Amino acid sequence: MKRTLFLRWRVSAAFALGLVLVVSALSVATWHLTTGYMFSQREQSADRQSQVNVRLVDNAIRNRSDGLDELLTGLATNPDSTILVSLPGGWRTAGRQVRPETLPPALLTPARTGTAAPQRFTSGGIPVVAVAVPLTAAPGLYVELHPLLELEQTFRYLRVILIAGTLVCGLFGIVLGAWSVRRALRPLAAFTDAAGRIARGDLRARLPEQADPELAPLATTFNATAAALEQRVRRDARFAADVSHELRSPLTTMTTVAEVLDRRRDAMPAPAQKALHLLLAELRRFRRMVLDLLEIAAVDETDTGENRELVDLGPLARNGVASNPPLALDLAAGPLLVSGDRRRLDRILANLLDNAARYAGGAVRLGVQARDGVIRLEVDDAGAGVPAELRERIFERFARGVHAGRRDPGSGTGLGLAIVADHVHRHDGRVWVEDRPGGGARFIVELPEAGG
């Protein structure tokens, strides 16, 4: 699940990043093209206006008009514009006052040689485009500063729009990426669900038919593999059941004969008594194994749910305590209901108690509690506990943990806990073992509470 979420976020981030990069590139290009074009247009307009104004100033100087100051004031139509005229007698200004010495030399020097071009700079905190033109009627310069306040305001609006558009596109990329990857991962989610159901024992799980030609071969292959696996498991289960059934009759006969001989063991010599004792122990152990194999075969059969009913684990736990008198019972008040097969639930508890009796000095506590929508069954034993590296292996078939080498009459078959695990999984529960406070092991079974 986490990998899927991480993949969704990675794809969403990739969509967002890609869209942001593309939109950012377009925004930068739009910014440069727009600002460059508008600045160019403004400079050309300023240059044309200054050329017209300088001719008027030249005419006034050539005619020795006394109204030069009034002319300059009239030419400065914008309150933020400035006109400066350099004459042999000094500078004359109109409009917003700007000291001539603050004008950049890069503007004035080329103008005296007739190679001036419009320049942009900031004068008195106001951005301007300046045009300097040499006078023809007298030695001097005509300088006009055209304000760019409106243009700068337009640029600010444009900047906000481009940045906001880039951010909005990034968010849209995240949404688009999440939506796209959700649709793309929908077949993978169905595949994961079907595989999980098969892992939990539902061998009938299949993928739905896919209309997409790229996904159809995957669904077909998966379904064919699942069908082959189901047939193989069914065949193996039938084989184990058939073998076990065939062994029951001769095994029962041999056990009966051995028990008849055992009742007359006093008439036998000592070596024969010892051999009979070993034979009878192995036959009994073999019989338990055959019964367990039959139980395993029954577990591997398809659970149709026909035997499911509401089962109260309270009476089941009391029956378990009744058959083990020293066992302490820790039972929650009220009904402890689960939906399940009563025989299999009884077998779960019986096998856990039998496992404690065989390998751990017996069970010392049986607890049944309800919490967070599950019924929790705990069996504490008086043994030395289960090593951490064996806590999963002991639930495998024919695994007996640290007792794997035992061959005494009281040893088990290695199938009891495997049957417990299979029955618990059939009931959509889980089982594990942990350390018991105070020493020993605690086997825990959690089953979904009916209606929880």
pLDDT score recorded for residue 2: 47
For residue 92, what are its two tokens? 């004359």
Q: Is CATH 3.40.50.460 what the domain over 308-448 is classified as, yes or no?
A: no
CA angle 344, 311, 394 (to 5 degrees): 35
For residue 430, what are its two tokens? 């889980």
Tokens 């043994």 locate to 383
Secondary structure of residue 143 in the 3-state scheme: strand
Rounded to an integer, what distance in angstroms lies between the CA atom of residue 211 and that of residue 251?
A: 56
User: Where are the CATH 3.30.565.10 domain residues in the chain?
Assistant: 308-448
Torsion from C-alpha of 197, 203, 207, 208, nearest 10 degrees: -110
Q: pLDDT in tens for each of the 452 residues of the chain? A: 445 557 677 778 888 888 889 999 999 999 999 999 998 998 899 889 888 888 898 888 888 777 888 888 888 878 888 999 988 888 888 888 888 888 888 888 888 877 777 888 888 888 999 999 888 888 888 899 999 988 899 999 999 999 999 999 888 888 888 888 777 777 777 878 888 877 766 777 888 887 777 778 878 888 888 888 888 877 776 776 666 667 767 777 887 878 888 888 888 888 888 888 888 888 777 777 777 666 666 655 545 556 688 999 999 889 888 877 778 899 888 889 999 888 889 989 988 998 888 888 889 999 999 988 999 999 999 988 899 888 888 888 766 555 544 555 555 567 788 888 888 988 889 999 999 988 899 999 999 998 65
Enclosing H/E stretch for 173: helix 149-199
Rounded to an integer, what distance in angstroms lies between the CA atom of residue 378 and that of residue 375?
A: 10
**How many angstroms separate the Cα of 184 from the Cα of each of 188, 196, 220?**
8, 20, 18
* pTM of the complete model beyond 0.75: no
Burial class from Cβ neighbours inside 10 Å (0-12, 13-18, 19+) for residue 156 reads exposed
Tokens 């200004």 locate to 93
DSSP codes joined into one string, 349-394: HHHHHHHHHHHSS-EEEEEEEEETTEEEEEEEESS----GGGTTGG
pLDDT score recorded for residue 441: 93
Please give the class, per CATH, of domain 208-302: mainly alpha
pLDDT score recorded for residue 276: 81
**How many angstroms separate the Cα of 220 from the Cα of each of 228, 233, 280, 365?**
12, 20, 53, 51
DSSP codes joined into one string, 110-127: HHHTT----EEEEETTEE
Strands 337-341 and 308-312 come out as antiparallel
pLDDT score recorded for residue 67: 81
Helix-helix angle 416-426:270-300, to 10 degrees: 10
Rounded to an integer, what distance in angstroms lies between the CA atom of residue 303 and that of residue 40?
A: 82
For residue 98, what are its two tokens? 């700007």
For residue 166, what are its two tokens? 């880039």
How many Cβ atoms from other residues are within 10 Å of residue 442's Cβ? 18
Secondary structure of residue 36 in the 3-state scheme: helix
In degrees and rounded to multiples of 5, residue 442 shows phi and psi of -130, 115
Give me the residues paired with residue 133 across strands: 142
* Architecture of the domain whose range is 2-154: 2-Layer Sandwich (3.30)
Secondary structure of residue 436 in the 3-state scheme: coil
Residues whose CB falls within 8 Å of the CB of residue 112, separated by 6 or more in sequence, listed in order:
134, 141
How many Cβ atoms from other residues are within 10 Å of residue 383's Cβ? 18
User: Where are the CATH 3.30.450 domain residues in the chain?
Assistant: 2-154
CB contact at 8 A, 298 and 330: no
DSSP codes joined into one string, 265-287: GGGS-HHHHHHHHHHHHHHHHHH
Rounded to an integer, what distance in angstroms lies between the CA atom of residue 29 and that of residue 431?
A: 64
Residues whose CB falls within 8 Å of the CB of residue 7, separated by 6 or more in sequence, listed in order:
181, 185
Closest CA to 363 of 375, 341, 380: 380
